[in-house]
Structure 1
Amino acid sequence: MSNLKLGVEVVSAHDLNPKDGHGSCNPCVELHFDGQKFRTTVKENDLNPYWNELFYFNISDPSSLHNLALQAVVYHVNKSARSKTAIGKVQISGTSFVPQSDAVVLYYPLEKNNVFSSAKGELGLKTFLTDDPSLRSSTPLPDTEFFHDYQSENGIPFPNSTSRNRESRPDSTNTFHHLPREQSQHNSSVFTVDEMKSAPQTQARFFSPSSQQPFEFQLKETRPTLGGGQVVGGRVIPGEKPTSTYDLVEKVEYLFVRVVKARDLPSKDITGSLDPYVELRLGNNRARTRHFVKNQNPEWDDVFAFPIERLQSSVLEVLVKDKDVIKDDFVGMVTFNLTDLPRRAPPDSPLAPEWYWMRDEKGGKAKGELMLAAWIGTQADECFPIASHTDSTAGPTGSLLNSQIRSKVYHSPRLWYVRVNVIEAQDIIIADKTRFPEVFVRCQIGTQVFKTKPIQARTMSPLWNEEFMFVAAEPFEEALLLTVFDRVASNKEETIGRVQVPLATVEKRWDNREIDTKWYILDKHGVTEEDKEKKKDKFSSRLHLRICLDGGYHVLDESTHYSSDLRPTAKQLWRPSIGLLELGIRNADGLQPMKTRERKGTCDAYCVAKYGQKWVRTRTVLNNLSPRYNEQYTWEVYDNATVLTVAVFDNSQLEKGGEENKDARIGKVRIRLSTLETGRVYTHTYPLLVLHNSGLKKMGELHLAIRFSSTSLLNTMLIYAKPLLPKLHYLQPLSMMQLEILRNHAVQIVALRLSKMEPPLRKEVVEYMSDVESHLWSMRRSKANFSRLMSVFSGIIAVGRWFSDVCYWKNPLTTVLVHILFVMLVCFPELIVPTIFLYSFLIGMWNYRLRPRHPPHMDTRISRADSVHPDELDEEFDSFPTTRSPELVRMRYDRLRSVAGRIQTVVGDIATQGERLQMLLNWRDPRATAIFLVFCVCTAMVLYVTPFSVLVVVSGFYMMRHPRFRHKMPSATINFFRRLPARTDSML
């Protein structure tokens, strides 16, 4: 069997015929060759689409290749009518196919599909022959109509023929290959770099036309039955017994057992002692308390929770045992029938524990009593957060009391900016009297260190007047330490004196009022307290400072692109809340194994959510790739231009040497509150996406329920007119460099504080939630940001293309109508501004039906995460400073220089155009300036005698003149402007 294949890369198309009645079309390309048919994705509303999709055809008989032909048909897809219309076709003979090494992209003009159709535009294709045995041909499409099947919720057409055939032919989906296309005009020539020739081809997935993102990476709306009832259309329809608490998660019943204490237990060991603990049994479900050493009256006060749906027995056995080296001895037991246990639901009072006599193994009365309480409740019970759950029992520790698996709520410390103004010093004393000291001051709070410039003190009273900003957290445990140094040599410094200022004594402010300065006496370095008391050493050096705690700022401890809290630090400036945010963390599905335990891949997953100063952590569900949490949390909202962050981690602290392990990232979700409708319940499954060195990977899905409730619609509307940040950010703004440094310090402080809590929220968790690595260089992010910049101007570019078509009379009827509208606006100029606003209103109302129905989520296409080069990923995940080999670093440096060189060229070209405008009047080119001045005088005289409306009409008609009156050569004005000098001649 021959391995010869035909590779066809569909690159792009240009100037296609509009087919949807709005001046655009939804194009896709169908390829037909040797009885096989493939299809590209659909590009919505794009007359100049880019695909860059590669397909491989099997060649059944290579000897008859010259008799075969490749046919590429461009279709317009009408999604509402479920039909397709041919725009044009291209046919390539088999005799024109070349080897892959000689293949180039060629643009073919589109031909008419039939006599009655019209064709316009061109299609870019790259065809080549290859006999690489490692390449597999793409999966062919079924020979049926394209639009027989639709995804019901998302409107996504599947390449399968019908819904009844989808399950019978699961492999008949459209499959193609992506190639990295650095020379793509769609991205920009700025980021044209030489990629490695061995770039692997990754199999792509079917993309939705609406989002241009793989279907598996999109949000999917669900309609679960929550605690409050069924969710329909974003509203919770109450059931038979609606509950106001925990109505965003499923109502799950638990058997709660609270083991309080025991008394008068018998001795079991030879020494007469007892090491008691309690074991709970419910069929195969077991749990146990910690044991006490030599204690016959132990007190545990532990709570256990058993999910009712997982119980395998109707009898609860509570056993008291004596821990021994070989075999644990039986002490006594208490049994309960589940049907006899009471049910409890808040706000009922907690169930009071009782004393129970214990029975021995034969059913007789045993010595000792056990105090406990058992009842059936839900996750609304106040014991639920402190209970040890049986779905967390199968860990390697074997104990439910491990603090690492319980759910907790954390509050990050309140952060302040510390402003330190080092003004001057007086009476500096040094040991060497023959030289003038070179003095500088080092300011330090914890790990934050800043230094002033060294000043040569000829009068022994140096003056600096430099200001520094620090971050400090309440309660202020660390003091401000200022040390005065004398630089004796380039590598030697001597301490002159120091002063320590407790931050608790520093004045606080929340406005821009001036703070009084103070003089601080320096303590001489090396002088003991005993010498100070005896006054043997006289030292009168002092330091002039201005110190304050600025509470009028918002101390940012998250990414600079988003924040979950915009309030100032000082409580005196806080505004009342505008609403309430409720989050229900339901469950996760399809998590990837993160570790191996008992020769099986497993995961110990927990979720962390952050909004404002409140962090929440769900319990850890062990040995489960589809954990169920059903936990609900609430936050007060003070500004809806904030972001909620939810992330999933794998708990690595339960293994041996767990303190040295880092909790692995599983995925993250960010939701901006301003994109949520008030009062609506959003129930979606969010894909957990993580970018690894090997590429983008979906780690599972997270099921969330979110609701934003507004206390006052008027207050929510008025918040849009208020400043985003506190007042001091505008009265005394901080530089971008300062903000970045202070943000990093704030993250480290929050991470340190939260890591000291029990259970600790580890440093890697806080850093991942705060995006501490977002400021590091990434080729992928640079390309993505440039693509975002180009998409911002896409509307202006589209208007420019439309106006160019009008000027060149591409559609004579449209051009005539534009002429009429243009004359009307010139004759009635007072209608220009109202017309613009009226059109804006109409466009906005028209787009209302197309408004987003789902919260925004991570977009792999915008992030360029689905087509990033492996070497760029390795560079992105490299440590700082780098740990790679010098050869690899040299290659990346050369690539960076290539990218920076193109950016440098573009910036230089823009600067050149601006400098040419300046050169018109500064006589750099005397002849050009003279010509321009004469033109200005003549133009001024004409404008004085010519009505302005006539001038505008003539200019507009000249710009929209018919192509027969146009010349292909540039105009005299453009020639004149291009001949003007710029400052490039003066650059080295």
Structure 2
Amino acid sequence: MQKSPVSEEFALKQTAPKIAGSGVYTGGDKLVCAYDLVEQMEYLYVRVVKAKELPAKDVTGSCDPYIEVKLGNYKGITKHFEKKSNPEWNLVFAFAQDQLQASFVEVVVKDKDLVLDDFIGRVTFDLLDIPRRVPPDSPLASQWYKLEDKKGEKIKKGEVMLAIWKGTQADEAFPDAWHSDAAAVGSEGVSRIRGKVYLSPKLWYLRVNVIQCQDLIPSDKNRLPDICVKVVLGNQAHKTKISKSVNPTWNEDLVFVVAEPFEDPLVLTVEDRVGPNKDEILGRFLMLLHTVPRRLDNKPVQAKWHNLEKHSLLEGEKKEAKFSSKIHLRISLDGGYHVLDESTYYSSDYRPSSKLLWKSSIGLLELGIISATGLSLMKSKDGRGTTDAYCVAKYGPKWVRTRTIIDSVSPKWNEQYTWEVFDPCTVITIGVFDNGHLQGGGKDTSIGKVRIRLSTLETERVYTHSYPLIVLKPSGMKKMGEIHLAVRFSCTSYLNMLHKYTHPLLPKMHYVHPLSVSQLELLRFQAIQIVSERLGRAEPSLKKETVQYMLDLGSHIWSIRKAKANFFRIMNITAGIVQVAKWFDQICNWKNPITTILIHILFLILVLYPELIFPTLFLYLFFIGLWQYRWKPKHPPHMDVRLSHADAVGFDELDEEFDTFPTSKGSDIVRMRYDRLRSIGGRIQTVIGDLAMQGERFQSLLSWRDPRASALFVAFCFVAAVLLYVTPFQIVVMILGFYVLRHPKLRSKVPPVSTNFFKRLPARSDCML
């Protein structure tokens, strides 16, 4: 069947970059061959350290020195110092050798002037004489060079300390170097274009169990007070239900997300609702989070009574007075949970908050960000379109950002990064962005992103593909370019990795003390806000809009397109049942007499020998799994525009999907009804998506989309078939019956192995926009 032009345009393409691809994971963080997933790029490095005894050029008897490093048409400039004859720069310039058209490099020292800068001296190097450095060799030592005048003669005073060598992007100086393609960026903007590695803050769930209060003193003693407790932590606030008593009881759990290092204190206020939108504070309690006990298991923390403080304003001054009112609390930092900042299905990490509960890694993920082609023009500069692209990759708590390639729609990064892997059923996300902070206070604009599920990758194999960057805009679906990646997943022990499929997806606390769906949605929103705020403090900062795009902040908002896509996913699952029903109808109607006779014979055998039913079924599944192996996917799955219904979406549906929330499309009544409809629709959309996910997981058992899971299931079918052949059927039924009807004391709160295995199977959600 011939593919349509639309499918070809948005399809994944195999590439053949000039990479080594021969690194082998040997355990820990050691890799035999570094930078073997990207193309090797040759650079000329010039380290400008400092100068001394520079001659005066101004009438004041001083100089304002700076240095130009010139190599053909490329020129790098340091910042200048005011009236300083012994300046220090400590700056490295990197010139890509494939763009050079010169035979020598010139280092010129100049004096900054208002009209015309004065020449102080220079040093010239022939490119043929420059040495090559290959890590792990130690850095090349800097040397003092005497300056020459324009005639090539040594000047009496003035020296500059330099180091110059040839190397690749594996050089330690590469990340902090001022690259030749960024010559137009001033010295103040260099920090905004450098590649960096970031770490998300460690997140915890803070559980505040508000039990009761005693001896509250309301201002009006002639009425029964309406008491509630308000708990505030930073920009998070929760309230208990209202209790009508001076000794109220709640026993409510309020859960917050907090990040280390802890900054904001926990503030509790006991309030009396004395009127509409009017609360009177009866007492206040403050606690610093570093004093809160950390809980690693399901054992409850001991509850404590705390004195409440009464605050009143007298003559403009705050006075504090302790009195007998008390509050009974149980507060703990729950380290047994995994704090979600991503969607559960797209998550790149399932480990609990406490490092004491972490298991050893099972392998290593290596990502080579090679290049991009055909990127869309994202902004205007000097009357023409331009793009300043960089990539961000997120896996677990580690975020990486490549350097920004200035003014190019076909940037080449050739940067390689590694992550430790603790679970194969996780997803790495790679996003491409346009740097909007080089010309002022603009925002970084998203160009597109790619998700890769590790369980769909074969171990020790290098995948090199060109991924289309597909986005949905108010005008419709658009391809924003392609990104070329190289990915390898290596493991230390194949058996340990297969054993992971039998473990619970989330830590034990999620099943012993589960959080509600609404709680998880709110806590995830708070976690994203905390992560984006903390990463925004780095230099260069990872902007809020970038973090929120990578973490799919608005993925839960209602969309007719998503609801239709999930509906048709369910229809696709039920299509198999319909086909079986049609086939059985054909058998009943003798459409194929030979097949019908064979089914009759099989039916008689199974009736006479019922113990053959289950072994025959598992053996049938075993052979289907082996047969389907021939069509297992050859490359990782990617965004499917047809599955997402992005290629047939109408204008009205797009207008609704990109509408603000709450809507701005009409009067207040229409807005209220419309938002309510979208909220309900969002829940329906989620339920439909979950149903579709379960069905697709059944399909993936024998589809070899996750080769390890399919191998485990096929092996299980074979073993089950053999065991059921040799075991009397009555014993099997008796054991199953007793197991299903077992006493609650014999049941574990942790899901069984079959459930854990099933929840780790891949669905087609990875391929949806």
Question: What is the TM-score of this pair, normalised by structure 2?
Answer: 0.84
Residue 474 (structure 1) aligned with residue 260 (structure 2): yes
Question: Which residue is equivalent to 2:65?
Answer: 276
Question: Which residue is equivalent to 1:375?
Answer: 165
Distance 1:481 1:890, change over 3 A: closer
Moved more, 440-449 or 682-691: 440-449
The offset of 1:444, in angstroms, is: 1.1
What 5-or-longer segments of structure 1 have no aligned partner?
Answer: 1-41, 43-156, 159-204, 208-213, 237-241, 908-988
Q: Which amino acid aligns with 1:247?
A: D
The one of 399, 405, 416 aligned to 1:615: 399
Question: Which residue is equivalent to 2:701?
Answer: none
The one of 307, 311, 317 aligned to 2:100: 311
Question: Which residue is equivalent to 1:522?
Answer: 308
Residue 511 (structure 1) aligned with residue 297 (structure 2): yes
The one of 190, 205, 230 aligned to 1:442: 230
Question: Which residue is equivalent to 1:405?
Answer: 193
Residue 289 (structure 1) aligned with residue 75 (structure 2): no
Moved more, 483-492 or 356-365: 356-365
The correspondence of residues 443-592 of structure 1 with structure 2, limited to 5 A, is: 443-457=231-245, 460-526=246-312, 537-592=321-376
Moved more, 881-890 or 489-498: 881-890
Question: Which residue is equivalent to 1:848?
Answer: 629
The offset of 1:886, in angstroms, is: 4.6
The offset of 1:889, in angstroms, is: 6.0
Question: Which residue is equivalent to 1:698?
Answer: 479
Q: Which amino acid aligns with 1:567?
A: R
* Cα distance in 1, alignment partners of residues 261 and 468 from structure 2: 39
The offset of 1:389, in angstroms, is: 1.2
Residue 725 (structure 1) aligned with residue 725 (structure 2): no
The correspondence of residues 627-642 of structure 1 with structure 2, limited to 5 A, is: 627-642=411-426
- Of structures 1 and 2, the one with the larger relative CO (CA 8 A, separation 6+) is 2
* Cα distance in 2, alignment partners of residues 670 and 602 from structure 1: 26
Does structure 2 retain, via aligned residues, the 8 Å contact 1:288–1:400? no
Q: Which amino acid aligns with 2:206?
A: V
* Cα distance in 2, alignment partners of residues 416 and 767 from structure 1: 19
The offset of 1:329, in angstroms, is: 2.0
The offset of 1:607, in angstroms, is: 0.2
Question: Which residue is equivalent to 1:188?
Answer: none
Distance 1:567 1:426, change over 3 A: same
Question: Which residue is equivalent to 2:658?
Answer: 877
Distance 1:522 1:893, change over 3 A: closer
CA deviations on 1:89-115 (whole Å, 9 max, x unpaired) are xxxxxxxxxxxxxxxxxxxxxxxxxxx
What secondary structure does 1:842 align onto? Answer: helix
Q: Which amino acid aligns with 1:279?
A: E
* Cα distance in 1, alignment partners of residues 670 and 12 from structure 2: 39
Question: Which residue is equivalent to 2:119?
Answer: 330
Does structure 1 retain, via aligned residues, the 8 Å contact 2:121–2:149? yes
Residue 814 (structure 1) aligned with residue 595 (structure 2): yes
Q: Which amino acid aligns with 1:864?
A: H
CA deviations on 1:910-945 (whole Å, 9 max, x unpaired) are xxxxxxxxxxxxxxxxxxxxxxxxxxxxxxxxxxxx
The one of 379, 387, 400 aligned to 2:177: 387
- How many correspondences in the alignment? 678
Does structure 2 retain, via aligned residues, the 8 Å contact 1:552–1:569? yes
The offset of 1:606, in angstroms, is: 0.2
* Cα distance in 1, alignment partners of residues 154 and 504 from structure 2: 73
Q: Which amino acid aligns with 1:414?
A: K
The one of 390, 405, 422 aligned to 2:210: 422
The offset of 1:361, in angstroms, is: 2.3
* Cα distance in 2, alignment partners of residues 405 and 634 from structure 1: 21
The offset of 1:323, in angstroms, is: 2.1
* Cα distance in 1, alignment partners of residues 675 and 90 from structure 2: 65
Q: Which amino acid aligns with 2:159?
A: E
Distance 1:316 1:888, change over 3 A: farther
* Cα distance in 1, alignment partners of residues 630 and 380 from structure 2: 49
Distance 1:718 1:298, change over 3 A: same
* Cα distance in 1, alignment partners of residues 332 and 391 from structure 2: 38
* Cα distance in 1, alignment partners of residues 667 and 171 from structure 2: 60
Residue 751 (structure 1) aligned with residue 532 (structure 2): yes
The offset of 1:492, in angstroms, is: 1.2
What secondary structure does 1:761 align onto? Answer: coil
* Cα distance in 2, alignment partners of residues 871 and 293 from structure 1: 61
Q: Which amino acid aligns with 1:718?
A: H
The one of 381, 387, 391 aligned to 1:597: 381
What secondary structure does 2:617 align onto? Answer: helix
Question: Which residue is equivalent to 1:206?
Answer: 5
CA deviations on 1:795-846 (whole Å, 9 max, x unpaired) are 2221111111212222232222211211121111111111111110111111
* Cα distance in 1, alignment partners of residues 173 and 289 from structure 2: 39
Distance 1:819 1:663, change over 3 A: same
Does structure 1 retain, via aligned residues, the 8 Å contact 2:474–2:654? yes
Does structure 1 retain, via aligned residues, the 8 Å contact 2:21–2:462? no
Does structure 1 retain, via aligned residues, the 8 Å contact 2:662–2:671? no
Question: Which residue is equivalent to 1:195?
Answer: none
Distance 1:326 1:411, change over 3 A: same
Q: Which amino acid aligns with 2:5?
A: F
Does structure 2 retain, via aligned residues, the 8 Å contact 1:608–1:646? yes
Question: What is the TM-score of this pair, normalised by structure 1?
Answer: 0.66
The offset of 1:890, in angstroms, is: 7.9
* Cα distance in 2, alignment partners of residues 878 and 864 from structure 1: 18
Question: Which residue is equivalent to 1:101?
Answer: none
The offset of 1:435, in angstroms, is: 3.0
Q: Which amino acid aligns with 2:250?
A: W
What secondary structure does 1:726 align onto? Answer: coil
Find the structure with the greater CA-based Rg: 1
Does structure 2 retain, via aligned residues, the 8 Å contact 1:277–1:291? yes
* Cα distance in 2, alignment partners of residues 692 and 818 from structure 1: 53
Moved more, 344-353 or 359-368: 359-368
Does structure 1 retain, via aligned residues, the 8 Å contact 2:269–2:283? yes
The offset of 1:884, in angstroms, is: 2.6
The offset of 1:488, in angstroms, is: 1.2
What secondary structure does 1:304 align onto? Answer: strand
Distance 1:821 1:379, change over 3 A: same
Residue 830 (structure 1) aligned with residue 611 (structure 2): yes
The one of 14, 19, 40 aligned to 1:221: 14
Question: Which residue is equivalent to 1:762?
Answer: 543
Distance 1:519 1:329, change over 3 A: farther
Question: Which residue is equivalent to 2:758?
Answer: none
* Cα distance in 2, alignment partners of residues 452 and 718 from structure 1: 43
Question: Which residue is equivalent to 1:182?
Answer: none
Question: Which residue is equivalent to 1:431?
Answer: 219
Does structure 2 retain, via aligned residues, the 8 Å contact 1:262–1:297? yes
